[in-house]
Amino acid sequence: MNHAWDELVSAAAQDGAALLEKCAGDWSRPAGELTWSSLETVDHLSQAVVGYAALLVARPTDRYVALRLAMDPSAPADQIAESVRVGGTLLAQTLRVTEADARAFHPWGMGDPAAFAAAGVLELLVHSRDIAQGFGIEASLDDDLCAPVVERLFPAAPTGHRPSDTLLWCAGRAALPGLPRRTDWRWYGDVR
């Protein structure tokens, strides 16, 4: 199935940023059930999304790029959210100009643009939700954004469930009926 991955990344960045704007207060609190703080999680999220764009630009075959980002620990929630929007925009814009046959390294497979786009959507949706949970904010994920991510990154995912529930199961965040919560997971990055 062909998806407009740049649009999915943009929508996920907007959703994630809107959720993070609600997270005012102490960013040292844990991000949901993660061992990372909310600030460490948003650092990871931003680094990952911008990093996926950087990988598509540099196209290394055996390593990550040397670029590293860090969130300003004193930034308020609206500026943290702005940073997530910026990262999503950078990835979306990169996807618009990257040839479909481009390939780049990731430890979970030599990825094509669709793999990095889907991974970006995963990072944006799941980690924004993790952070929101740490602030006591319940968040539901958009099934229209989750379905293509599950399709691209988790080819062996169970069927018959809402795409958002399936994505949360794939990412070790929830159980599904008859399937316990995963404690070890990874996405499939090789070209499909």
- Which position has the token pair 């990835």? 91
Give the pLDDT band of residue 3 (cuts 50, 70, 90). confident
Residue pair 42/86 in contact (Cβ under 8 Å)? The answer is no
Residue 158 has φ and ψ, to the nearest 5°, of -65, 155
Residues 143-173: pLDDT tens digits? 999 999 999 999 999 999 999 999 999 999 9
Residue numbers of the domain that contains 109: 5-170
Give me the amino acid identity at 42.
V
CA dist., res. 106 & res. 191, Å (int): 12
Residues 7-34: pLDDT tens digits? 999 999 999 999 999 998 999 999 999 9
- 185 is a domain residue: no
Residue 159 has φ and ψ, to the nearest 5°, of -110, 170
Residues 74-90: pLDDT tens digits? 999 999 999 999 999 99
- 24 is a domain residue: yes
- 178 is a domain residue: no
Q: How many domains does the chain fold into?
A: 1
- 176 is a domain residue: no
Residues 28-73: pLDDT tens digits? 999 999 999 999 999 999 999 999 999 999 999 999 999 988 889 8
- 120 is a domain residue: yes
**Residues paired with residue 176 on neighbouring β-strands, in sequence order:** 179
- Going 36 to 181 to 115 to 104, the CA torsion angle's sign is positive
Q: Which contiguous run of DSSP H or E holds residue 89?
A: helix 77-97
Chain-centroid distance of CA 47 in Å reads 10
- Which position has the token pair 């990952």? 48
In angstroms, what CA-CA distances link 101 with 29, 54, 90, 149, 192? 41, 16, 19, 19, 12
- CATH code of the domain containing 126: 1.20.120
Give me the amino acid identity at 72.
D
CA dist., res. 169 & res. 173, Å (int): 6
Give me the amino acid identity at 40.
E
In angstroms, what CA-CA distances link 156 with 51, 102, 126, 153, 187? 26, 24, 19, 9, 10
